Structure 1
Amino acid sequence: MQNHLTTKGKKKVSGMQTEIRDAYTGETWVYTKEVKDHFFHPRNLLMLNEGEEYPADGKGFVGSPACGDMMKVWIKVDPKTERIKECKWQTFGCGSAIAATSVMSVMVSENEGMTLAEAMGIRPQHIQERLGGLPTRKIHCSVLGDKALRMAINDYFKNTNQHTRIVVEGAKVIDKVLHITNKDIEEAVLEGADTLEKVQKKTKVGTGDPTCIPEVEQLLRFYTEKYYG
């Protein structure tokens, strides 16, 4: 987990926020004190050589190191109460991804732990609220953690022969020529696309099947309202 963010020359924006600069690109983002705390002091993090040895009841993995965003989540579950006793994780994502997953691991394991049903209901907006918000261009970083968590819970159900409880997250194909789904459009909105043109630039949706544009616009409005209010 390489840290290329720097607080050198940081500028205090308000009593609760600080501007942090990427040492490589020079790009700046405004982070809350909660984000900075979980980035610089991540909770429940497993080192690279610890993951394979951790005695997890369920494991989840999403993303790819090749594209720069990867998340692994391990959970321990009390079989009697179905509460999450421990939630460990690893990521190769950015500072926002680290902070988002750190706080998520705290959310599901604090106060005797969430039940599996409660943890299945965690969504990016819940993580963002706990962090006091994320920069718009970094909201997508809170998505990987909750996806990996749901995969870990499904893995627990599989390992305990509770196959009927496994939740399959389906996707609807919107552009039938390019096979672009509603999940692709949701990801584009989370990455900052707030107009049809920006969604198309990221996904190419509608360029192969123009008849899907009205549905794309409807999804754009839905996801924009869902994540940005």
Structure 2
Amino acid sequence: MGLYNDKVMDHFMHPRNVGEIPDADGTGVYGSPVCGDMMQVQIKVDDNDVITDCKFKTFGCGSAIASSSMATEMMKGKTVEEALKISNSTIVDELGGLPSQKLHCSVLADHAIKHAIYDYAQKTGKTYEGLKGFDPTDHGDIPDEDEAPEEV
């Protein structure tokens, strides 16, 4: 298991926030046709625009599960705008790094977060600075497994 550090292994072996929120305020599903990984992120948002709960379900490798787990940990307690600032590079940094061929997993988590928040914004009629220019139909920037994502 030399490819992965202890933090990545911990989030893979003991993922946080796994499951579903039955009355979720926003749900984002995102996947990569290249690697086959799929992530679902759901959020619960209070009246002050704070994410009070978030859950994930991921079909994918250990890096995808660890990235999803870390992303949901990073979102809890943040405002929606703060959560929109979570990027693939901040997820990788919080995990203490990922092998270069697995960096795309952090990109999937980043996009799943934005899709969940986009869904919430659509349902509530809210607009967020962090969603400006976001296109929920664009799936063109997920790199192949042996390509590094642009942000990292």
- Which of 150, 155, 164 is 2:114 aligned to? 150
Equivalent position of 1:34 in the other structure: 7
Equivalent position of 2:66 in the other structure: 99
Query: What is the percentage of aligned positions where both structures have the same residue?
Result: 46
Query: Structure 2 matches for 1:174-189, cutoff 5 A?
Result: 183-184=140-141, 187-188=143-144
Q: Distance in 1 between matches of 2:23 and 2:63?
A: 27
TM-score when normalising by structure 1: 0.58
In terms of fraction of residues, the more helix-rich structure is 1
Alignment pair present for 1:169 and 2:134: yes
In terms of fraction of residues, the more strand-rich structure is 1
- Note the alpha carbon deviations across 1:131-178, whole angstroms, 9 max, x for none: 11001111111111111111111111111122x4454425xxxxxxxx
Are the counterparts in 1 of residues 101 and 147 from structure 2 also a CA contact under 8 Å? no
Residue identity in the other structure for 1:60: G
Equivalent position of 1:57 in the other structure: 25
Shift in Å, 1:193: 3.2
Alignment pair present for 1:83 and 2:83: no
Equivalent position of 1:193 in the other structure: 147
Structure 2 unaligned regions, length at least 5: none
Residue identity in the other structure for 1:45: V
Are the counterparts in 1 of residues 28 and 40 from structure 2 also a CA contact under 8 Å? yes
Residue identity in the other structure for 2:143: E
- SS of equivalent residue, structure 1 residue 103: helix
Equivalent position of 2:42 in the other structure: 74
Residue identity in the other structure for 2:115: M
Are the counterparts in 2 of residues 61 and 71 from structure 1 also a CA contact under 8 Å? yes
Q: Distance in 2 between matches of 1:159 and 1:88?
A: 18
- Note the alpha carbon deviations across 1:28-64, whole angstroms, 9 max, x for none: xx11100000000000001xxxx4x611011101126
Number of matched residues?
Answer: 149
Equivalent position of 2:92 in the other structure: 128
Larger radius of gyration: 1
Check 1:32–1:67 CA distance in 2 against 1; reply closer, same or farther (3 A cut).
closer
- SS of equivalent residue, structure 2 residue 147: coil
Are the counterparts in 2 of residues 88 and 105 from structure 1 also a CA contact under 8 Å? yes
- Note the alpha carbon deviations across 1:101-152, whole angstroms, 9 max, x for none: 101111111xxx1111111111111001111100111111111111111111
- Note the alpha carbon deviations across 1:44-93, whole angstroms, 9 max, x for none: 001xxxx4x611011101126896211101000012x2111011010101
Q: Distance in 2 between matches of 1:88 and 1:78?
A: 15
